[in-house]
Structure 1
Amino acid sequence: MTQANQRKEKVWFITGSSRGFGRIWTEAALKRGDNVVATARNLESIADLKAAYGNHVLILAVDVINAEQVKSAIDQAHKHFGRLDIVFNNAGYSLVGTIEESKPEEIRALYETNIIGPVNVLQAAIPYLREQGYGHILGTSSALGMYSNPLIGYYSSSKFAFEAIYDSMAKEVRPFGINVTIIEPGAYNTEFGSRESLKFAGRHIEAYDTFKQEVMDGIGQLERGNPQATVNAIFAVVDEENPPLRLLLGKHELPKIKEVFNDRIKVWEAWKEISAAAQG
């Protein structure tokens, strides 16, 4: 067993602890007796955690796009609990709209939160984990980091990038005893559709209205999972000596991803002679 897994109580650092999966996983870790550094942009949204769990929780106001604030929070977390066992990037939101409708400033803001923000956390935390010689870095991506759907192309692109960063990092930090796991949820009944987690493109193009309504109707018919049912899966991963790089949450996504990748392979195979000829 690694040093981290020998410890009965783990120390978690979690971004986006105020709602959705972040709130559920934060409370679950505290309920099982672990210590958690819970962070959110609005400190009042997580103040009740301190009242409920006392010295087991440190609550900090963190906007992940503020690199200095992130670094200060990681430093405080390490000083307060003496170590970091689990660093969990969970903050993020979705931008809804067609590729044509979304404005550059909206796309940049999405990437700041969904990509640069997590990188700020990683760059602040990894030095501590390297020095310890152990640790587990988790990140909430999405099954949509494997394929994309209409109206959320920019969100999916941010998760494609997120997965690439974590994939590369896993190889880089493995020699230091640090594990990496990407969490890939499917559709769940969380607050991800709230105003704080969902933003709509500021430009409206009428030509897409019928198509967008059809897509939204389809989304509304999705079978959504119970987010509370994900807790044991997260615990299984963080308690595992050799955790997986990727973990899907839900029963519908693996068949979909198999279908997507099989289709890609068929196309690559159909064009392989032209591809090979391009080698020169």
Structure 2
Amino acid sequence: MTTAPSTTAPGRVWFITGASRGLGQAFARAALDAGDRVVATARNIATIEELATKHEGRVLALPLDVTDRTAVFAAVTTAVEHFGRLDIVVNNAGTLTMGMVEEFAEAEARAQFETNFFGALWVSQAVLPQLRAQGSGHVVQVSSIAALGGFPSTGMYSASKFALEGMSEALSMEAAQYGVKVSIIQPGGYWTDLYTSARSTTPLDAYVPLRTELEKQWSEGSVDSEPRLAAEALMKLVDSENPPLRLLLGSMVYDLAFDISQQRMQTWAGWEQVSRAAEHAVPAPSGPPAEGGGN
């Protein structure tokens, strides 16, 4: 692994987590094909080193566990020292543990958040000082179709992605004044090893009927897409002068987003009177607050 400053021609500098496989590697290859430079990080950098050999001087491969906050900050420092700047940061590292919400042990639930939420948080915190100082940059958070709603057996994964999106919405408003953009991409199905490498909780007998139904649905098969198509969409996003906060990737996730949004709007409308009756502004009360009041 070379850490001496790069002497290649200027080009955008990417910092990509989880770049050893799947979408992360597709993103790295697309950036390199565009003539850019890439800081590619992963727990195992064997496949990244192959890219570094092929694109000599334009790839810095760094071993990184994004759940280690100190290591994340050190990796970002190394990246800036090597290439001199950062332009596009892609928080792609993620894991999946499948299981019903009731089945999750504490360690399993925390582990799901450590990578999917806290890992992205640590990277975002680490790169912001550099991006603010430059007055430019684009942070891209890789979320999921699971952030559109909770689904049986992926509830904890959805929860981690919901948390990621809530944090990222706030980050986008906080960073905008410094010229830093934030986007959330919500991919549908792609042929990666997310599901084949997924872990599972210890099943409870109570959920056998539901699991049987889910397995029946899954046995009908799915037709997913090549990660290359997601990478092409990402390139269009980062090339845009006015990128959106959210970008749906895939027809299935696009249609599902509209279906879920319409269902929610119908429910809100159906309960409008109850919602509006629950609020009536009054002057601030004097004296100590009543017991049990507040949120």
Fold agreement, TM-score > 0.5: yes
Q: CA RMSD in A?
A: 1.4
* Alignment counterpart, residue 185 of structure 2, candidates 179, 183, 186: 183
For residue 60 of structure 1, report the CA deviation from its aligned partner: 0.3
Deviations 1:184-206 (A, max 9, x none): 100111111122xx1111x2212
- More helix, by proportion: 1
Where in structure 2 are the equivalents of 1:206-225 lying within 5 Å?
206-220=205-219, 221-225=221-225
The 3-state SS of whatever aligns with 1:55 is: coil
Q: Which consecutive residues of structure 2, in runs of 5 or more, have no partner in the other structure?
A: 1-8, 281-295
TM-score for both structures, normalised by structure 1: 0.93
Q: What's 1:254 paired with?
A: 254
How far, CA to CA, are the matches of 2:10 and 2:148 in structure 1?
35
How far, CA to CA, are the matches of 2:117 and 2:108 in structure 1?
14
Number of residues paired by the alignment?
Answer: 271
- The one-letter code matched in structure 2 to 1:210 is P
Q: What's 1:3 paired with?
A: none
Q: What's 1:59 paired with?
A: 61
Where in structure 2 are the equivalents of 1:50-199 lying within 5 Å?
50-195=52-197, 198-199=198-199
Correspondence 1:235 to 2:215: no
For residue 227 of structure 1, report the CA deviation from its aligned partner: 1.6
How far, CA to CA, are the matches of 2:257 and 2:206 in structure 1?
30
Q: Which consecutive residues of structure 1, in runs of 5 or more, have no partner in the other structure?
A: 1-6
Q: What's 1:278 paired with?
A: 278
- The one-letter code matched in structure 1 to 2:112 is L
For residue 44 of structure 1, report the CA deviation from its aligned partner: 2.5
How far, CA to CA, are the matches of 1:209 and 1:193 in structure 2?
20
How far, CA to CA, are the matches of 1:110 and 1:206 in structure 2?
23
The 3-state SS of whatever aligns with 1:39 is: strand
How far, CA to CA, are the matches of 2:177 and 2:16 in structure 1?
24
Deviations 1:3-44 (A, max 9, x none): xxxx97210000000111001111121122110000001232
For residue 169 of structure 1, report the CA deviation from its aligned partner: 0.5
User: Percent same amino acid at aligned positions?
Assistant: 39
How far, CA to CA, are the matches of 1:10 and 1:213 in structure 2?
49
The 3-state SS of whatever aligns with 1:12 is: strand
| 110 and 232 in structure 1: CA distance in 2 versus 1, 3 angstrom threshold | same
Correspondence 1:21 to 2:20: no
Which structure's CA Rg is the greater one?
A: 2
Q: Which range is displaced more, 236-245 or 26-35?
A: 26-35
Q: Which range is displaced more, 204-213 or 63-72?
A: 204-213
The 3-state SS of whatever aligns with 2:251 is: coil
Deviations 1:123-150 (A, max 9, x none): 1100000000000000110121111211
Deviations 1:75-95 (A, max 9, x none): 010111111000110001111
TM-score for both structures, normalised by structure 2: 0.88
Q: What's 2:11 paired with?
A: 9
8 Å CA contact retained: 2:146, 2:154: no
The 3-state SS of whatever aligns with 1:247 is: strand
- The one-letter code matched in structure 2 to 1:66 is D
For residue 257 of structure 1, report the CA deviation from its aligned partner: 1.4
Q: What's 1:269 paired with?
A: 269
- The one-letter code matched in structure 1 to 2:20 is S
Q: Which range is displaced more, 225-234 or 116-125?
A: 225-234
Deviant stretches of 4+, over 6 Å: none
